[in-house]
Copies of this chain bind each other. A is one copy, B any other.
Amino acid sequence: MQQGFAFTKLADRLTSIAELSEEDLELLTRMPSTITHFSSHDQVLRKSDQPSRCCLLLQGYLCWKDDGDGQISSIYVPGDVPDSYTTVSPRLTAHLTTLGQAVVAFVPHVFFREISLLSPNLHRALQLLSITDAARLRSWIINLGSRDSLTRVAHLICEIVARLQAVGLARDYRFPSPFTQSDLASACAISAVHANRIIQELRRKQVLSWQSRTIAITDWEALCRLACFEPDYLGLRDITPAVCHRSRATAPSAASELSM
Protein backbone atom coordinates (compact mmCIF):
# COMPACT_ATOMS: atom_id res chain seq x y z
CA MET A 1 0.00 0.00 0.00
CA GLN A 2 0.96 3.62 -0.37
CA GLN A 3 2.75 4.18 2.89
CA GLY A 4 3.54 7.67 4.00
CA PHE A 5 0.24 9.18 2.97
CA ALA A 6 -1.88 8.32 5.92
CA PHE A 7 -3.90 11.49 5.49
CA THR A 8 -5.25 10.32 2.13
CA LYS A 9 -7.07 7.48 3.88
CA LEU A 10 -8.79 9.94 6.16
CA ALA A 11 -9.53 12.23 3.23
CA ASP A 12 -11.15 9.38 1.34
CA ARG A 13 -13.29 8.49 4.30
CA LEU A 14 -14.39 12.03 5.02
CA THR A 15 -15.12 12.59 1.35
CA SER A 16 -17.42 9.59 1.40
CA ILE A 17 -19.75 11.36 3.84
CA ALA A 18 -19.13 15.08 3.31
CA GLU A 19 -17.89 17.47 0.68
CA LEU A 20 -14.43 18.82 1.38
CA SER A 21 -12.89 21.92 -0.10
CA GLU A 22 -9.38 22.29 -1.41
CA GLU A 23 -8.45 24.09 1.76
CA ASP A 24 -9.82 21.25 3.86
CA LEU A 25 -7.73 18.74 1.94
CA GLU A 26 -4.72 20.98 2.33
CA LEU A 27 -5.28 21.02 6.09
CA LEU A 28 -5.41 17.26 6.14
CA THR A 29 -2.04 16.96 4.45
CA ARG A 30 -0.52 18.47 7.56
CA MET A 31 -1.68 15.57 9.67
CA PRO A 32 1.12 14.30 11.90
CA SER A 33 1.09 10.56 12.42
CA THR A 34 3.02 7.63 13.78
CA ILE A 35 2.48 4.55 11.70
CA THR A 36 2.48 1.19 13.45
CA HIS A 37 2.03 -2.35 12.20
CA PHE A 38 0.07 -4.84 14.24
CA SER A 39 -0.28 -8.56 13.88
CA SER A 40 -3.39 -10.64 14.18
CA HIS A 41 -5.47 -10.36 17.35
CA ASP A 42 -3.27 -7.63 18.79
CA GLN A 43 -4.66 -5.07 21.19
CA VAL A 44 -4.21 -1.61 19.75
CA LEU A 45 -5.82 0.01 22.78
CA ARG A 46 -6.60 -1.55 26.12
CA LYS A 47 -9.67 -0.70 28.10
CA SER A 48 -7.44 0.84 30.75
CA ASP A 49 -5.62 3.16 28.36
CA GLN A 50 -6.18 6.88 28.36
CA PRO A 51 -4.97 7.79 24.91
CA SER A 52 -3.96 11.28 23.81
CA ARG A 53 -4.14 10.37 20.15
CA CYS A 54 -6.55 8.68 17.78
CA CYS A 55 -6.16 5.56 15.68
CA LEU A 56 -6.62 6.08 11.96
CA LEU A 57 -6.87 2.66 10.38
CA LEU A 58 -4.85 2.46 7.18
CA GLN A 59 -5.03 -1.20 6.32
CA GLY A 60 -6.79 -4.26 7.64
CA TYR A 61 -9.60 -4.38 10.15
CA LEU A 62 -10.08 -3.31 13.76
CA CYS A 63 -12.87 -3.98 16.21
CA TRP A 64 -14.03 -3.13 19.69
CA LYS A 65 -13.89 -6.34 21.65
CA ASP A 66 -15.47 -6.75 25.03
CA ASP A 67 -13.68 -8.02 28.08
CA GLY A 68 -16.00 -10.84 28.94
CA ASP A 69 -16.70 -13.39 26.28
CA GLY A 70 -15.06 -11.33 23.55
CA GLN A 71 -18.23 -10.07 21.93
CA ILE A 72 -17.36 -7.70 19.10
CA SER A 73 -19.48 -4.57 19.06
CA SER A 74 -18.17 -2.79 16.01
CA ILE A 75 -15.86 -3.39 13.07
CA TYR A 76 -13.74 -0.82 11.27
CA VAL A 77 -12.27 -0.60 7.80
CA PRO A 78 -9.46 1.57 6.42
CA GLY A 79 -10.15 5.28 6.72
CA ASP A 80 -12.09 4.83 9.95
CA VAL A 81 -11.11 6.39 13.26
CA PRO A 82 -12.67 3.97 15.76
CA ASP A 83 -11.73 6.01 18.81
CA SER A 84 -12.41 9.49 17.48
CA TYR A 85 -14.55 10.17 20.53
CA THR A 86 -11.50 10.01 22.77
CA THR A 87 -10.74 13.56 21.68
CA VAL A 88 -13.58 14.54 24.01
CA SER A 89 -13.20 11.94 26.73
CA PRO A 90 -10.40 9.37 26.75
CA ARG A 91 -12.33 6.77 28.74
CA LEU A 92 -12.61 3.44 26.96
CA THR A 93 -15.16 0.72 27.55
CA ALA A 94 -13.63 -2.05 25.47
CA HIS A 95 -10.40 -3.21 23.85
CA LEU A 96 -9.53 -2.04 20.36
CA THR A 97 -8.30 -5.20 18.68
CA THR A 98 -7.01 -6.17 15.26
CA LEU A 99 -8.77 -8.70 13.07
CA GLY A 100 -5.85 -10.00 11.11
CA GLN A 101 -2.79 -7.88 10.41
CA ALA A 102 -3.41 -4.16 10.42
CA VAL A 103 -1.65 -0.85 9.91
CA VAL A 104 -2.62 2.06 12.10
CA ALA A 105 -1.65 5.73 12.04
CA PHE A 106 -1.71 7.34 15.46
CA VAL A 107 -2.79 10.96 15.21
CA PRO A 108 -2.64 13.37 18.16
CA HIS A 109 -5.99 14.55 19.52
CA VAL A 110 -4.80 18.07 19.18
CA PHE A 111 -4.66 17.77 15.41
CA PHE A 112 -8.37 17.03 15.22
CA ARG A 113 -9.13 19.86 17.60
CA GLU A 114 -7.10 22.25 15.50
CA ILE A 115 -8.62 21.42 12.15
CA SER A 116 -12.08 21.60 13.74
CA LEU A 117 -11.34 25.16 14.74
CA LEU A 118 -9.79 26.08 11.42
CA SER A 119 -12.48 24.61 9.20
CA PRO A 120 -16.15 24.43 10.15
CA ASN A 121 -16.53 22.15 7.21
CA LEU A 122 -14.03 19.63 8.54
CA HIS A 123 -15.59 20.01 11.97
CA ARG A 124 -18.90 18.95 10.52
CA ALA A 125 -17.33 16.09 8.59
CA LEU A 126 -15.77 14.75 11.77
CA GLN A 127 -19.08 15.07 13.57
CA LEU A 128 -20.74 13.14 10.76
CA LEU A 129 -18.13 10.48 11.25
CA SER A 130 -19.24 9.88 14.82
CA ILE A 131 -22.89 10.14 13.91
CA THR A 132 -22.60 7.43 11.30
CA ASP A 133 -20.65 5.38 13.81
CA ALA A 134 -23.63 5.55 16.15
CA ALA A 135 -26.01 4.82 13.29
CA ARG A 136 -24.07 1.66 12.55
CA LEU A 137 -24.33 0.63 16.17
CA ARG A 138 -28.10 1.04 16.05
CA SER A 139 -28.26 -0.91 12.85
CA TRP A 140 -26.26 -3.67 14.44
CA ILE A 141 -28.63 -3.80 17.39
CA ILE A 142 -31.47 -4.32 14.92
CA ASN A 143 -29.47 -7.10 13.39
CA LEU A 144 -28.66 -8.94 16.56
CA GLY A 145 -32.13 -8.36 17.86
CA SER A 146 -34.36 -9.21 14.99
CA ARG A 147 -32.68 -11.28 12.34
CA ASP A 148 -31.64 -14.91 12.20
CA SER A 149 -28.03 -15.91 11.93
CA LEU A 150 -27.87 -16.29 8.16
CA THR A 151 -29.22 -12.80 7.70
CA ARG A 152 -26.86 -11.45 10.34
CA VAL A 153 -23.77 -12.85 8.70
CA ALA A 154 -24.92 -11.73 5.27
CA HIS A 155 -25.65 -8.25 6.58
CA LEU A 156 -22.26 -7.89 8.17
CA ILE A 157 -20.59 -8.86 4.93
CA CYS A 158 -22.74 -6.46 2.95
CA GLU A 159 -21.84 -3.66 5.31
CA ILE A 160 -18.15 -4.37 5.04
CA VAL A 161 -18.30 -4.41 1.26
CA ALA A 162 -20.23 -1.15 1.11
CA ARG A 163 -17.84 0.54 3.50
CA LEU A 164 -14.77 -0.72 1.70
CA GLN A 165 -16.15 0.53 -1.59
CA ALA A 166 -16.89 3.89 -0.04
CA VAL A 167 -13.17 4.40 0.41
CA GLY A 168 -12.23 2.99 -2.96
CA LEU A 169 -11.52 -0.61 -1.98
CA ALA A 170 -13.14 -3.90 -2.99
CA ARG A 171 -14.43 -2.40 -6.22
CA ASP A 172 -14.53 -5.82 -7.80
CA TYR A 173 -16.39 -7.26 -4.81
CA ARG A 174 -13.30 -9.11 -3.67
CA PHE A 175 -11.56 -8.21 -0.45
CA PRO A 176 -9.12 -9.71 2.03
CA SER A 177 -10.62 -11.54 4.98
CA PRO A 178 -7.71 -12.03 7.36
CA PHE A 179 -10.16 -12.58 10.21
CA THR A 180 -11.26 -16.05 11.23
CA GLN A 181 -14.71 -17.56 11.17
CA SER A 182 -14.62 -17.32 14.96
CA ASP A 183 -14.13 -13.57 14.69
CA LEU A 184 -17.12 -13.35 12.45
CA ALA A 185 -19.05 -15.45 14.91
CA SER A 186 -18.13 -13.10 17.76
CA ALA A 187 -19.39 -10.17 15.76
CA CYS A 188 -22.65 -11.87 14.88
CA ALA A 189 -23.15 -13.31 18.34
CA ILE A 190 -23.30 -16.89 17.17
CA SER A 191 -21.05 -19.83 17.89
CA ALA A 192 -18.05 -20.53 15.70
CA VAL A 193 -19.49 -23.85 14.65
CA HIS A 194 -22.70 -22.26 13.57
CA ALA A 195 -20.88 -19.49 11.75
CA ASN A 196 -19.12 -22.13 9.74
CA ARG A 197 -22.40 -23.71 8.74
CA ILE A 198 -23.81 -20.34 7.75
CA ILE A 199 -20.83 -19.62 5.55
CA GLN A 200 -21.22 -22.96 3.90
CA GLU A 201 -24.82 -22.12 3.22
CA LEU A 202 -23.81 -18.82 1.64
CA ARG A 203 -21.40 -20.71 -0.53
CA ARG A 204 -24.05 -23.23 -1.46
CA LYS A 205 -26.36 -20.39 -2.42
CA GLN A 206 -23.58 -19.18 -4.71
CA VAL A 207 -23.52 -15.66 -3.33
CA LEU A 208 -19.91 -15.69 -2.24
CA SER A 209 -16.69 -17.64 -2.02
CA TRP A 210 -14.29 -17.51 0.90
CA GLN A 211 -10.88 -19.05 0.38
CA SER A 212 -7.26 -18.29 1.09
CA ARG A 213 -8.17 -15.35 3.32
CA THR A 214 -10.19 -13.66 0.62
CA ILE A 215 -13.92 -13.18 0.21
CA ALA A 216 -15.36 -12.73 -3.25
CA ILE A 217 -18.99 -11.76 -3.64
CA THR A 218 -20.35 -13.63 -6.62
CA ASP A 219 -23.94 -12.39 -6.48
CA TRP A 220 -24.15 -9.01 -4.81
CA GLU A 221 -27.85 -8.48 -5.47
CA ALA A 222 -28.76 -11.83 -3.98
CA LEU A 223 -26.55 -11.22 -0.96
CA CYS A 224 -28.19 -7.86 -0.32
CA ARG A 225 -31.60 -9.48 -0.55
CA LEU A 226 -30.63 -12.23 1.87
CA ALA A 227 -29.26 -9.64 4.22
CA CYS A 228 -32.14 -7.17 4.04
CA PHE A 229 -29.34 -4.72 3.43
CA GLU A 230 -30.36 -1.07 3.09
CA PRO A 231 -27.24 1.04 3.25
CA ASP A 232 -28.91 4.37 4.02
CA TYR A 233 -27.74 4.20 7.57
CA LEU A 234 -24.12 4.36 6.49
CA GLY A 235 -24.69 7.99 5.53
CA LEU A 236 -22.68 7.68 2.32
CA ARG A 237 -23.08 10.43 -0.20
CA ASP A 238 -23.07 8.63 -3.49
CA ILE A 239 -24.79 5.34 -3.34
CA THR A 240 -26.15 4.52 -6.74
CA PRO A 241 -29.59 2.91 -7.01
CA ALA A 242 -27.90 -0.41 -7.65
CA VAL A 243 -26.25 -0.13 -4.26
CA CYS A 244 -22.65 0.91 -4.52
CA HIS A 245 -21.58 0.67 -8.12
CA ARG A 246 -19.81 3.94 -7.57
CA SER A 247 -16.95 5.14 -9.69
CA ARG A 248 -14.76 7.34 -7.62
CA ALA A 249 -12.99 8.75 -10.63
CA THR A 250 -15.61 11.40 -11.23
CA ALA A 251 -15.96 14.56 -9.23
CA PRO A 252 -16.87 13.67 -5.67
CA SER A 253 -20.14 15.60 -5.65
CA ALA A 254 -22.61 14.61 -8.29
CA ALA A 255 -25.89 15.50 -6.73
CA SER A 256 -26.32 14.74 -3.05
CA GLU A 257 -27.09 18.37 -2.29
CA LEU A 258 -29.87 17.36 0.02
CA SER A 259 -29.74 19.35 3.20
CA MET A 260 -27.98 17.46 5.91
Instruction: Name A residues whose Cβ lies closer than 8 Å to a Cβ of B.
Output: 50, 64, 66, 68-69, 71, 73-74, 85, 88-91, 93-94, 124, 127-128, 130-131, 133-135, 137-142, 144-146, 189, 228, 232-233, 235, 259-260
A81 to chain B, nearest CB (A): 13
- Determine the distance from Cα of A146 to Cα of B64 in the docked complex, in whole angstroms: 14
Asked if residues B141 and A85 are in contact (CB atoms below 8 Å), the reply is no
CB-nearest residue of chain B relative to A93?
Answer: B233
Chain B residues within an 8 Å CB radius of A133: 134
Are A138 and B94 in touch, CB under 8 angstroms? yes
A189 and B144 within 8 A (CB):
yes
Total identical chains: 2
Q: A133-B134, A144-B189 are in contact. Are A128 and B89 (CB under 8 A)?
A: yes
Given contacts A89-B235, A134-B134, A235-B91, contact A71 B145 (CB under 8 A): yes
In the bound complex, CA of A138 to CA of B92 (Å): 11
Contacts of A90 in B (CB 8 A): 259-260
A146 and B71 contact, Cβ closer than 8 Å, known pairs A88-B124, A93-B139: yes
The residue of chain B having its C-beta at the shortest distance from the C-beta of A141 within the complex is B73
Q: Are A146 and B93 in contact (CB under 8 A)?
A: no
Find chain B residues with CB under 8 A from A89 CB. 128, 131, 235, 260
Known contacts A74-B138, A74-B141, A146-B189, then 11 further A-B pairs from the complex at CB < 8 Å, ordered by chain A residue: A66-B142, A69-B146, A88-B127, A88-B131, A88-B260, A89-B260, A91-B232, A91-B235, A93-B139, A93-B232, A130-B130
CB distance from A83 to the nearest CB of B (A): 11
Q: Which residues of B contact A141 (CB under 8 A)?
A: 71, 73-74, 137, 140-141, 144
Do A73 and B130 touch across chains, with their CB atoms under 8 A apart?
A: no
Report B-chain residues with C-beta under 8 Å of the C-beta of A135.
Answer: 93
Q: What's the Cα separation between A133 and B50 when bound, in Å?
A: 20
Looking at the assembled complex, report how far the CB atom of A172 sits from the nearest CB atom of chain B, in whole angstroms. Answer: 29
Return the 10 tightest CB-CB contacts between A and B, nearest first.
A145-B189, A137-B137, A71-B146, A73-B141, A144-B144, A71-B145, A89-B260, A73-B138, A88-B127, A134-B134
Is B131 touching A73 in the complex (CB atoms < 8 A)? no
